[in-house]
A and B are shown apart, each in its own frame.
Chain A
Amino acid sequence: MTKSLYEMMNGGFTTVMKQHFVDYFVGKSLNTDYWEVGNSSGSAGTWAMSDFGLCFTSGTGTSQGEIFFNNKRQYDGRGCAMIVTQASEFDMDQRGSGFGNDPTVNDMPEHLIVRVSHAGWSSDKSTPNVVHFQIQDTSQSPTYQTLKCGNNSSTGFNTYKIEAKNSSEECSVNGVLAGTITSPVFAANTKLQPFIRAKHGYTPPIVARKFWVKYVEAWNT
Chain B
Amino acid sequence: MTKSLHELFASDIKPRTRFVEHFSGDALDTFRWDTTLVNNGTVAMSDTSNGGLILSTGTSSGTSSAQIDFGDKKQFGGASSIIWTAIHSHSATGESYSGLTAGSTQGSGAQGIYSYVNTAWKTTNFDLYTVGAGGNTWTNGTIAGLTSNHSHKLELTGTSGKSFVDGALNCESTTNLPIAKMQPSFGLSSTDTTNKTINITYCEAWEN
Contacts and interface: CB of A to CB of B under 8 A. Distances in A.
A21 interface: yes
Contacts of B208: 1-2
Given A4-B206, A20-B22, A71 B47 contact: yes
Given A1-B157, A73-B49, 18 more contacts: A2-B206, A2-B208, A3-B9, A3-B10, A6-B151, A6-B202, A13-B167, A19-B22, A19-B24, A19-B50, A31-B29, A31-B31, A36-B26, A70-B27, A72-B26, A74-B49, A76-B50, A220-B49
Contacts of B160: none
Contacts of A15: 151, 166
Interface string B72-104: 000000000101010000000000000000000
Nearest to A190: B49
Interface of A: 1-6, 8, 10, 12-22, 31-36, 69-76, 189, 191, 218, 220
7 nearest interchain CB pairs?
A: A34-B25, A13-B167, A21-B24, A70-B26, A14-B167, A2-B10, A76-B49
Contact of B202 (A14, A20, A33): A20
Contacts of A71: 47
Contact of B151 (A1, A17, A32): A17
Interface in B133-162: 149-151, 153, 157
Contacts of B81: 4
A74 B24 contact: yes
Contacts, number: 121
Given A2-B16, A3-B9, A35 B25 contact: yes
Interface centre among B27, B45, B52, B164 (most CB of A within 10 A): B27
B206 A19 contact: no
Contacts of A22: 22
Contacts of A8: 8
B73 to A, nearest CB: 17
9 contacts: A5-B9, A13-B151, A16-B150, A18-B201, A20-B22, A35-B26, A72-B24, A73-B47, A74-B49
A6 B83 contact: yes
Nearest to B10: A2
B30 interface: yes
A8 to B, nearest CB: 6
A74 B26 contact: no
B28 interface: yes
